[in-house]
Amino acid sequence: MDSQNRRGAAGSHAAPGQTLTRADLADRLHRAVGLSRAESADLVEQVLNAIADALVSGENVKLSSFGSFTRRDKGQRVGRNPKTGVEVPIAPRTVITFRASQLLRQRING
């Protein structure tokens, strides 16, 4: 099934339960801006790489009217195997969280 069938003729909104992919973003960019498909795909990759590079280097990413990606360091803690009940140490790690902006939350909730 192609993206046009999944998303309707206009291709503007994903059907409930569908996933928006890099290819879908590139296609939407191609249709809206008129870049070639290759240029659109490259631009999507550049934007995603810029976000990932910032997070890897320790920066948080804030996209106005969309939301914020925040790095958070979690310390070591003790977890429990739910099947056996045995305690196991969980190593410290860095996690990425996303918090939607108020504007995005309003759009989602109608």
Tell me: the pLDDT tens digits for 2-24? 444 444 434 455 567 799 999 99
Strand order in the sheet with 93-100: 61-63, 67-74, 93-100
Residue 24 lies in a domain: yes
H or E stretch at 30 = helix 22-33
Q: Could you report the per-residue pLDDT of 32-79, keeping only the tens digit for each? A: 999 999 999 999 999 999 999 999 999 999 999 999 999 999 999 999
Asked if 69 and 103 sit in the same domain, the reply is: yes
Hey, is 77 helix, strand or coil?
strand
Asked if 65 and 94 sit in the same domain, the reply is: yes
pTM here is: 0.74
Q: Tokens for 7? A: 């998303």
Residue 5 lies in a domain: no
Asked if 90 and 108 sit in the same domain, the reply is: yes
Give the residue numbers spanning the domain of 76: 60-110
- How many structural domains are present in the chain? 2
